[in-house]
Structure 1
Amino acid sequence: MPPPSPPPPSLSPDLHRVLSLLPRLASPRHLLQAHAYLLPRGGHRHARVASALLLASLRLPLRDHAAALVRRVHPSVSLRAAARLRGRGGGGLAAQLHSLLVRAGHAADPHASASLVQAYCSCGSVASARRVFDETAASADVVSWNVMIDGYVKSGDLARAREMFDVMPGRNVVSWTMVIGAYAQMKQPEEAIEVFRRMQVEGIEPDGVALLSVLSACGDLGVVDLGEWVHRFVLRRGLCQEIPLMNAIIDMYVKCGSVKKALEVFEGMEQKSIVTWTTMIAGFALHGLGSEAVELFRRMEKENVSPNDITFLAVLSVCSHVGLTDLGRWYFKTMVSQYKIKPRVEHYGCMIDLLGRAGCLMEARGLVQDMPFKANAAIWGALLAAARTHGDTELGEQALLHLIELEPHNSGNYILLSNIYAEQERWDAVRELRISMRDRGLRNVPGASSIDVDGMVHEFTSRDGSHPSLHKIREVLCAINSNIKSVGHIALLPESLHDVEEG
């Protein structure tokens, strides 16, 4: 092991320039010239410069030169070089660096192996990372375990990440947070909440990152009881000044249907970010509270908070769902003229949905033709839905042709067009569409809904009679339906009852 390096010199402007050039050098000769320039100036003794030299030597490749560098420099330089490897193109460099560290006798160092694991994972070579990890697993510390788990998480292999997590000795809050966050991001909220409950049982206090992930999972599942527990925990720990955390609480309440509680949290915040305002506006939009959303948007402007592109997405969505067509047109223009925000394809999608719902199909078609993007599935889907609503067969067929290309396995698109044909009693066209679906191996996937009762999430799908409490559920549906009829409203549930009966 080489002796500790003397304190490195500070980087002068000249050394900064050389440092920026090293990753872009295209020939071994230029690298050797750069190294010769650095030697009398002491730049090679600085860890950042030395690691850049090492990576450049591996990349060009100058293997003997790289090996000499590894033998001369402090191990921390090799570790810094490993940490800088990124992207799938760096896998070969990671392997070369690994070989050099073995030859120099550094590979057994726990810090070196952890850095190699991280380097391999960053380059997408998770299998190589695991081999390095297994070779030093006996001496691996919690950081090494976390790096390996994180590598699996980032590669999308949650099964192996969970396997490692379950057998990991001495898990810390980072370990728990990574797994909870991974499940939440991969839209597996049940698993995220299950791991969080285990975390509570084992007495590990969650950090803010874990709470953010749990709140997201609660919102996805509608588990308001756990979300309220997190809210109380935040209050007890005095974390109310953490704006992202409070924003997540608002979002959780909105998704769980508790708009009133979301608004209470919003009004109670002393400081609000643009995300805070946008989350609350989007919450109103989600629940069809158009006037409240528009009023909050105007209040935001009065308080000199500039809306961003996501805020306008929420406002345009409100206008679309509650039929404020003229106001939606005005906001779309204001976004560009006043706030200088360039509309994204999602904004065009909102406008096309708005125009389609209002029956302005020609204007919607024109907007599709004029927008500077290729229409995506959401836009053609909005046109297909509008065609179904207003009985425009030609537009529906045109939209479906594009959707088949963009979403060949989405059976819902076929069903919408089939409904248009059925409403016009074009039964031959309905039959042909069903045959086309069958030939493509498509089937109509039933919609699903879920509800949290006493900490247990129950999921229901159309025509599914497997729930053990089916009899009680049927009784409740009948009672609700009777109450609706008794107050003079149109019954809303016969189709649901029909589904239950057929199950």
Structure 2
Amino acid sequence: MNLALNGKVRDVRPCLQRFFSLLPRSEHADAEQLLCRCSNLNHLHQTHAFMLTRALDKDHILLSRFIHASASLGFPSFAYSIFIYNHPPTIFLYNNLISTLSSHNPTLAISLFKAIRFHGLRPDSYSFPFALKAVASSPSLRLGRQIHSQAILSGFATHPTVLTSLIHMYSSCANVSSARKLFDDAAAFKHVSLWNAMLAGYAKLGDLFNARNLFESMPEKYRDVVSWTTLISGYTHAHSPQQAITLFRTMLLHDVQPDKICILAVLSACADLGALQLGMWIHNYILKHKLPKIVSLYNSLIDMYAKSGDISKARQLFESMERKTIITWTTMIAGLALHGLGKEALELFSCMEKAGVRPNEVTFITVLSACSHAGLVELGRYYFTCMRSKYGIEPKIEHYGCMVDLLGRGGYLEEAKELVRLMPSEANAAVWGSLLAASNRYGDTALAAEALRHLSVMEPQNCGNYSLLSNTYAALGRWKEAGTVRKVMRDTGMEKVAGVSFVEVNNTVYEFIAGDRLNIKFVDICHVLQSINGQLKIIDVKWEQSIEVY
């Protein structure tokens, strides 16, 4: 904004900014409180109107928070329009929006980074890390190298934060050799962030062997909560929850206090294992240390309680949350569906729609799964159609898989088969597996054989598929065909994968493998099982006697 004073044109924005910074803090506080409560586009529009009528949009710190909230809630285009409206922007606003979009819309974030010089500004030590984070979110080695070159020319390549981001970028682009070279070259000023960046690089690529070796070789003083969390998260993402939880316990023994990111990773591991007692301990830790009621943290708690068997506690947490994002609603709907509460899940979906929260692709996967578990075929067809007609969401293979499962469970095998034929992409193993299971349930050997023909190519070593076909033949008394399938399994050396179960006792998770005679407590376990079996037989006898008396 320019103003002519004494014949000279002056930019009065700095004066305005100073003026607005002197406004009563209550209006700023009100705006910040509104931002915290935003959960949909309607809320954002109302908050923006509140800011405009009080000229709070001139406060770049508050404006940057608004832009961040808009993008975080899934409206990056709206965030960008607000940014463009405040023209010409400062490097502070550029950095803020690039940072926000680096995860939500990396392509737009990189375009903004390129536009910085166009407006006569220069990227600073914050601009490069944010741009590199965008490259890491949508890996492009070519773009990453271009930004690396710009960092060298600008003199920021050896800045610790930029160097850390470069290591992270190269690791995300699967060029771990370049990342390791940067790490080794930085030996003269090897900051803790560089160790953590290299550790994260190995963990992200799933190379937990080198990640663990690097972690063990780190100087003790450098092993902070980020280091521990990186490795714990690595184990969680690699579907090794037991190792993640063991490492978490070791971290606590080293008097390292977990932060939000660490807790999120461990809660995910607890959910995978069904470790309810440890999950409850973590919940109590959050309450005891009065950690902020961050939505993502409570979303993870809901997920953990639901997957660990305590759906009532999950629902109680859900109802207690003032601010619910689409992830919150989707997690709760999925939890209800998981517990076979399909109708309750669909009722919650209706409440979500009434609350003005727009469903996404993942939401519809949970909704269709709920229909499948509840046997609501007609309702499933309706929601599948609504995806495209009402919300403009094109069904993906996961949605088709849910529909095939729904139709198969309901006995509509021909319709399920036709849906597979009409799919826009090739059916995957999950889709054919659903058809195979449905064929077994309803004794359709022809469809079962067709499904297995596809599965034998996609999952040649999955003996469960062959067992299902064999069982289908056996159920219909076609013993010759059942024997032939079993012979194929024997001739190809297929072995049935041993079943694995987990039991949590006194905050320790124990793993049991079917037929495992090498367990040092094998004899004791057998004695306990025999005792339980004996007690169950006594209960059965008493039950039968009570029925006879009645």
TM-score normalised per structure 2: 0.68
Question: Match for 1:322 among 333, 355, 374?
Answer: 374
| C-alpha distance 198-416 of structure 1, shift in aligned 2 (>3 A) | same
Match of 1:396 in 2: 448
Q: How far apart, in 1, do the equivalents of 2:308 and 2:460 lie?
A: 32
Q: Secondary structure at the match of 2:394?
A: coil
Q: How far apart, in 2, do the equivalents of 1:270 and 1:232 lie?
A: 20
Q: How far apart, in 2, do the equivalents of 1:240 and 1:112 lie?
A: 29
Q: Which amino acid letter does the alignment assign opposite residue 218 of structure 2?
A: M
How do 1:187-266 and structure 2 match up within 5 A?
Answer: 187-239=239-291, 241-266=293-318
Q: Secondary structure at the match of 1:217?
A: helix
Deviation at 1:77, TM superposition (A): 11
How do 1:45-124 and structure 2 match up within 5 A?
Answer: 48=123, 89-90=141-142, 117-118=167-168, 120-124=170-174
Q: How far apart, in 2, do the equivalents of 1:116 and 1:240 lie?
A: 31
CA contact (8 A) 1:91 1:120 kept: no
Q: Secondary structure at the match of 1:444?
A: coil
| C-alpha distance 422-284 of structure 1, shift in aligned 2 (>3 A) | same
Deviations 1:302-357 (A, max 9, x none): 33333333222222212212222222222223333333332221111111111111
Q: How far apart, in 2, do the equivalents of 1:398 and 1:371 lie?
A: 17
Moved more, 307-316 or 403-412: 307-316
Question: Match for 1:285 among 337, 360, 364?
Answer: 337
| C-alpha distance 486-370 of structure 1, shift in aligned 2 (>3 A) | farther
Match of 1:160 in 2: 210
Q: Which amino acid letter does the alignment assign opposite residue 427 of structure 2?
A: A
Deviation at 1:255, TM superposition (A): 0.8
Q: Which amino acid letter does the alignment assign opposite residue 201 of structure 1?
A: L
Match of 2:200 in 1: 150
Deviation at 1:233, TM superposition (A): 2.0
- Which blocks of at least 5 consecutive residues in structure 1 are unaligned? 1-10, 14-41, 52-74, 490-503
Match of 2:423 in 1: 371
Q: How far apart, in 1, do the equivalents of 2:127 and 2:142 lie?
A: 17
- Which blocks of at least 5 consecutive residues in structure 2 are unaligned? 1-86, 90-116, 546-550
Match of 1:24 in 2: none
Q: Secondary structure at the match of 1:452?
A: strand
Q: How far apart, in 2, do the equivalents of 1:315 and 1:420 lie?
A: 30
How do 1:123-134 and structure 2 match up within 5 A?
Answer: 123-134=173-184
Q: How far apart, in 2, do the equivalents of 1:109 and 1:475 lie?
A: 66
TM-score normalised per structure 1: 0.74
Q: How far apart, in 2, do the equivalents of 1:123 and 1:338 lie?
A: 37
Q: How far apart, in 2, do the equivalents of 1:451 and 1:81 lie?
A: 45
Deviation at 1:44, TM superposition (A): 13
How do 1:444-483 and structure 2 match up within 5 A?
Answer: 444-467=496-519, 468=521, 469-470=524-525, 471-480=527-536, 482-483=538-539
Deviation at 1:229, TM superposition (A): 1.6
CA contact (8 A) 1:158 1:182 kept: yes
How do 1:351-390 and structure 2 match up within 5 A?
Answer: 351-390=403-442
Q: Which amino acid letter does the alignment assign opposite residue 436 of structure 1?
A: V
Q: Which amino acid letter does the alignment assign opposite residue 153 of structure 1?
A: A
Deviation at 1:76, TM superposition (A): 11
Moved more, 273-282 or 293-302: 293-302
Q: Which amino acid letter does the alignment assign opposite residue 252 of structure 2?
A: Q
Q: Which amino acid letter does the alignment assign opposite residue 475 of structure 1?
A: S
Identity, % of aligned positions: 46
| C-alpha distance 275-77 of structure 1, shift in aligned 2 (>3 A) | closer
Match of 2:478 in 1: 426
Question: Match for 2:463 among 402, 411, 415?
Answer: 411
| C-alpha distance 184-81 of structure 1, shift in aligned 2 (>3 A) | closer
Q: How far apart, in 2, do the equivalents of 1:229 and 1:140 lie?
A: 36
Q: Secondary structure at the match of 1:343?
A: coil
Moved more, 233-242 or 321-330: 233-242
Deviations 1:80-128 (A, max 9, x none): 999998657559969x97xx98xxx999997887576456535433234
Q: How far apart, in 2, do the equivalents of 1:316 and 1:81 lie?
A: 38
Deviation at 1:428, TM superposition (A): 2.7
Q: Is 2:353 aligned against 1:297?
A: no
Q: How far apart, in 2, do the equivalents of 1:78 and 1:267 lie?
A: 41
Q: How far apart, in 2, do the equivalents of 1:194 and 1:273 lie?
A: 32
Moved more, 179-188 or 430-439: 430-439
CA contact (8 A) 1:183 1:192 kept: yes
Deviation at 1:220, TM superposition (A): 0.7
Moved more, 471-480 or 164-173: 471-480
| C-alpha distance 390-479 of structure 1, shift in aligned 2 (>3 A) | same
CA contact (8 A) 2:144 2:169 kept: no
Q: Secondary structure at the match of 1:450?
A: strand
Q: How far apart, in 1, do the equivalents of 2:132 and 2:336 lie?
A: 48
| C-alpha distance 332-82 of structure 1, shift in aligned 2 (>3 A) | closer
Q: How far apart, in 1, do the equivalents of 2:354 and 2:130 lie?
A: 50
| C-alpha distance 230-400 of structure 1, shift in aligned 2 (>3 A) | same
| C-alpha distance 280-85 of structure 1, shift in aligned 2 (>3 A) | closer
| C-alpha distance 227-341 of structure 1, shift in aligned 2 (>3 A) | same
Deviation at 1:476, TM superposition (A): 2.0
Match of 1:17 in 2: none
> What is the Cα-based RMSD across aligned positions, in Å?
3.6
Aligned residue pair count: 424
| C-alpha distance 80-258 of structure 1, shift in aligned 2 (>3 A) | closer
CA contact (8 A) 1:47 1:80 kept: no
Q: How far apart, in 2, do the equivalents of 1:330 and 1:202 lie?
A: 54
| C-alpha distance 184-297 of structure 1, shift in aligned 2 (>3 A) | same
CA contact (8 A) 2:167 2:179 kept: yes
Deviations 1:234-272 (A, max 9, x none): 223434531111010000001110111111111111111
CA contact (8 A) 2:470 2:485 kept: yes
Q: Secondary structure at the match of 2:425?
A: coil
Q: Secondary structure at the match of 2:174?
A: coil
| C-alpha distance 264-123 of structure 1, shift in aligned 2 (>3 A) | closer
CA contact (8 A) 2:132 2:144 kept: no
Q: How far apart, in 1, do the equivalents of 2:134 and 2:350 lie?
A: 47
